[in-house]
Amino acid sequence: MVEIIQISDLHYGSEFVAEYLENIIDYIKEANPDVVICTGDVVHKGRVVQYENILPYFNRIKAITRLMVIPGNHCAKNSGLIFFERLIGPRRSKMVIEEKDTIIVGLCSARDDMSEGMIGDEQLDWMGRCFNKNLENRIIALHHHLIPVPLSGQKFTTVRDAGEIIEFTQLFEIDLVLMGHRHVPHAHVIGPTTYLYCGTSSSRKVRADDVPSFNHIFLDKGDLEVYMVHSNNLEKHLLLERKDNRTKFVRPRRTRIEHLLSSAVWDE
């Protein structure tokens, strides 16, 4: 079993709440997961000073456990990927945790000053070579949505070549795809793969009824348990459970259709 904490969309530089990130680091210390994965937008404007200020938090997490950080579209603003690679790490990365039979591949879906994402053939090719290793738990992390998420606003800012990536996840039987981007905790399931989205973990940039949150994940030979943890008070709620290929997804908010059906407009 591999234990993962996914944080995302820290947005240092805009509506960032240091207290939330302190809470998260306390939680990580207590849980001591095998790895922490941050799925992008670590800073808001790609500025070097923002990277310099978020870095000490990452160093504190690294002192506790393994850390993978991948860039988001906000990291790539103002040519910020230069500073991302200089201060945080490579824009794409592979992590093998032999003793947990786990491989994690982090992709860069961000492009300079573009809101939408793109993976491209070159990264796809590299990813295919990474997953040639026969490890039990197979995970991909990227920033942008592969499939639009309800109530997440601009749904055109997904990955342009999402079809190719989704096809890849089915072909290579990827267990878990971790994403951030629109700050809405959510999940989709197709075949062997669970597509899991994280909220904003350390900013006030939430949508509708959502709260700042992060995901605590347990993956064991295809079985999956995901808890959504509130960053402000560390309250924990089951978000998703997958056992013997059956998934129970506990929606953290009302659905779009529930909102519509309860609207006064339709009362007549």
Q: Which residues bind Fe ion (CB under 5 A)?
A: 9, 41
CA angle, residues 186, 98, 40, in degrees to nearest 5: 35
Residue 131 vs 185, nearer CB to Fe ion: 185
Question: Can you tell me the distance from the alpha carbon of 250 to that of 239, in angstroms, rounded to the nearest whole number?
Answer: 5
Question: Can you tell me the distance from the alpha carbon of 182 to that of 135, in angstroms, rounded to the nearest whole number?
Answer: 30
CB of 74 to Fe ion, least distance (A): 6
Q: Which amino acid is at 183?
A: H
CB of 43 to Fe ion, least distance (A): 10
Are 161 and 195 in contact by the 8 Å Cβ rule? The answer is no
Residue 117 vs 252, nearer CB to Fe ion: 117
Residue 9 vs 34, nearer CB to Fe ion: 9
Residue 59 vs 154, nearer CB to Fe ion: 154
Neighbours of 56 (CB within 10 A): 8
CB of 177 to Fe ion, least distance (A): 17
Residue 62 CA, chain-centre distance (Å), reads 18
- Distant-in-sequence, close-in-space partners of 44: CB < 8 Å, separation ≥ 6: 11, 12, 13, 14, 16, 50, 74, 77
CB of 40 to Fe ion, least distance (A): 7
Would you state the torsion angle of the CA atoms of residues 148, 151, 153, 155, taken in this order, to the nearest 10 degrees? 20
CB of 200 to Fe ion, least distance (A): 6
Residue 66 vs 253, nearer CB to Fe ion: 253
Are 147 and 187 in contact by the 8 Å Cβ rule? The answer is no
CB of 134 to Fe ion, least distance (A): 35
- Which residue, chain included where needed, has tokens 């680091």? 25
Residue 182 vs 242, nearer CB to Fe ion: 182
Residue 8 vs 102, nearer CB to Fe ion: 8
**What are the backbone angles phi and psi of residue 10, rounded to the nearest 5°?**
-70, -30
Question: Can you tell me the distance from the alpha carbon of 261 to that of 263, in angstroms, rounded to the nearest whole number?
Answer: 6
CB of 75 to Fe ion, least distance (A): 9
Neighbours of 139 (CB within 10 A): 25
